[in-house]
Amino acid sequence: MRVSLFTGNYGKSLIILLSLVFSYSLAAQEIDLLIRNGHVIDPRNNIDEPMDVAIAGGKILKVAKGIPVTGVKKIIDATGFFVTPGFIDPHTHVFVGTNQGFADGFSCVSPDDITLKAGITTVVDAGTSGWRNFPLFKKNIIDRSTTRVLAFLNIAGGGMTGFPSEEDMNDMDARMTSLVIKQYPDIIVGVKLGHYRGKEWTPLERSIEACEIAKVPFFLECHLPEYPLDELLKRMRPGDIFSHTYCTASDRECILDENGKLKSSVLEAKNKGVLFDVGHGGAMFHFDIAIPALKQGLMPSSFGSDLHRSSMNSGMKNMLETMSKFLNLGLSLKEVINTATWSTASEIKRNDLGNLAAGAEADIAIISVRKGTFGYIDSKNNKLTGDRRLEAEMTIKAGKVVWDMNGLGAKSLAVK
């Protein structure tokens, strides 16, 4: 005769007892970190108002008004600041090493040196590595960085090894590239092409082929002087990303015609779902292109910085500075935050990032908007004068404070 534990009066009491214990333990889940009194902007979840953010076990526990402080291990008072998901920079070169140049090279930059002090918790490397040296990139940089490092894989097997090795069509293998993407599905988010000086479309075709097999987006870089813009945009698919959007360059046709109008091929691409990344860099962002382009409705879907050794000390500086630029170019703060978080997360098909939903990894930026007179510099060394600059007060990665500009999270005051 089978006896159920839960039948009869004894069983009913047991059910009630177990429910009480269970719900008590849920209600009493300890909050590790509570960010109070900040203005939360979480575009994915439609939040743009004062809210408290509770973090437990490295994840968002909840975002709500007036979360009780009893039992909270640590409280951050974010009065006067905005609390947002940690920013995502989809265009960086962080495969730093000792070679000349980019791949495992000195032209790259170690991500933690730049990101955490700018509210950036995730970067995507823009194809500095290819399928051959991705494991080295992972071992040397990705696994050792506090910043979450994701990657576009270069269609060139060795990644950015410089001219002419990067142009070797014999080392552009769609199958191998797609196999390595499938080997690291949590890290590799797409395929990148750049730096090809020939007329052949083969490199682009191989890139798209790899994307089709691995079901990932294509990321278009620069230095493809023989690829006409309209043909390029025609071959790009919905969800593919066009970088270095707002510039004039000798090896890239401008998105504007001689009269400053957005070319029809650009509008068609935008309408079919091609996404446009800023890709600022040391040379690829110009106010005299960006301002008319924005006026005509070509908004960026991401603020890629093109971080590398030459851009980090130029007008670009870091992605937070790029965000401030766009704030002063007419985007609202909410639009800027959306572009830097949810829009970029969607672009790389990482819906787990760029938002503060319960259960999401607790990657958070606490920023202030400083008022004053500021100069913003483009890649022609031209200046735009603005009245606001974003500053990173605190950055939190997986629930841990990794940057604290003014000691918001300090344990106590020093005795003076």
Partner 1 sequence: MQARPDGVISEHSKKQTIDRSQTRILAFLNIVGVGMLGRFEEQNIDDMNPEMAAYMVTRLFPDILVGIKSAHYWGPDFTQVDQAVKAGTIANVPVMVDLGEHHPPLSIEELFMKHLRPGDIWTHTYANAPKDREVPVDENGKVKPFIFEAQKRGIIFDVGHGGGAFHFAQAVPSIQQGFIADVISSDLHTGSMNGGMKDMTNLISKFMAMGLSVQDVILRSTWNPAKVIKRPELGNLSVGSVADVAVFSLQKGDFGYTDVRAKKLKGTQRLVAELTIRAGRVVWDLNGVASQNWDAKP
The Cα 255–Cα 218 span in angstroms is: 19
- The answer to whether residue 287 forms part of the interface with partner 1 (CB under 8 A) is yes
Binding mask 72-111 for partner 1 (x = CB under 8 A): --------------------------x-------x---x-
Strands 74-77 and 59-64 come out as unpaired
For residues 41, 329, 190 and 126, what is the CA-based torsion angle, rounded to 10 degrees? Answer: -110
Instruction: Rank residues 59 and 309 by Cβ distance to partner 1 and give the closer one.
Output: 309
- The answer to whether residue 371 forms part of the interface with partner 1 (CB under 8 A) is no
Instruction: Rank residues 45 and 99 by Cβ distance to partner 1 and give the closer one.
Output: 99
Stretch that binds partner 1, among 65-73, 113-121, 211-219, 345-353 (CB under 8 A): 113-121
Instruction: Rank residues 80 and 228 by Cβ distance to partner 1 and give the closer one.
Output: 80
**CA 171 → CA 130, 161, 178, 202, 288, distances in Å?**
10, 12, 14, 12, 38
Stretch that binds partner 1, among 16-24, 61-69, 244-252, 383-391 (CB under 8 A): 383-391
Which residue's structure tokens are 């300890």? 30
Stretch that binds partner 1, among 11-19, 168-176, 187-195, 287-295 (CB under 8 A): 287-295
Strands ordered across the beta sheet of 275-276: 87-92, 120-130, 148-154, 188-193, 218-220, 241-242, 275-276
**CA 120 → CA 159, 226, 304, distances in Å?**
24, 35, 11
**CA 111 → CA 122, 331, 335, distances in Å?**
9, 27, 25
Instruction: Rank residues 11 and 407 by Cβ distance to partner 1 and give the closer one.
Output: 407
Instruction: Rank residues 170 and 412 by Cβ distance to partner 1 and give the closer one.
Output: 412
Which residue's structure tokens are 């437990």? 56
- The answer to whether residue 378 forms part of the interface with partner 1 (CB under 8 A) is yes
Stretch that binds partner 1, among 31-39, 85-93, 112-120, 247-255 (CB under 8 A): 112-120
Residues near partner 1 (CB under 8 A): 98, 106, 110, 112-113, 116-117, 146, 287-288, 291, 313, 315, 373-378, 380-385, 402-416
